[in-house]
Amino acid sequence: MSKYPQGKYDRHPLSVPGPFYVEDEQCVNCFGPRDHAPDLIGFFEETPDLKGCSHCYVKKQPATGEEMERMMQALFASFCSGLRYCGADPAILERLTRDGQASRCDELSDDLDVHDTRRGSLRV
């Protein structure tokens, strides 16, 4: 079981429950995740009077191998690392580590000896 079953960071309120989530206030509107997995990643577009509040979110957790592959591609495409994984599936943890994306996994990020430059610097 994951140390962070709900996520290490606050998830966007529209993100559905499950191991993949988008960190609240972390989206920079890059559209990368949505372009790779439009069936899994939604985009909330705020009205013009609330500039900067548009945000992607996980609208559906992957349920098939094909959906999982699209979600992984979406995670890799997230410019600001706002799309995260808080689960403990060994195969997913191994892939994230192998592909150099361990910092996007809540379960692994505590063990990394890296300075997380995105904290505070890319918030919009």
What single-letter DSSP state applies at residue 28? -
Phi-psi region of 16 (alpha: psi -120 to 50; beta: other; left: phi over 0): beta
C-alpha closest to that of 77 among 20, 33, 23, 30: 33
Domain boundaries, the chain: 20-109
Question: Could you tell me the pTM of the whole model?
Answer: 0.77
Average pLDDT, the chain: 77
Q: For 4-62, what is each residue's pLDDT tens digit?
A: 677 788 888 888 999 999 887 776 666 667 777 889 888 876 655 555 566 688 999 99
Residue linked to tokens 């361990």? 102
Please work out, in degrees rounded to the nearest 5, the angle formed at the alpha carbon of residue 123 by the alpha carbons of 67 and 3. 55
Which residues are bridge partners to 85 per DSSP?
Answer: 20, 105
CATH architecture observed for domain 20-109: 2-Layer Sandwich (3.30)
Which residues are bridge partners to 56 per DSSP?
Answer: 43
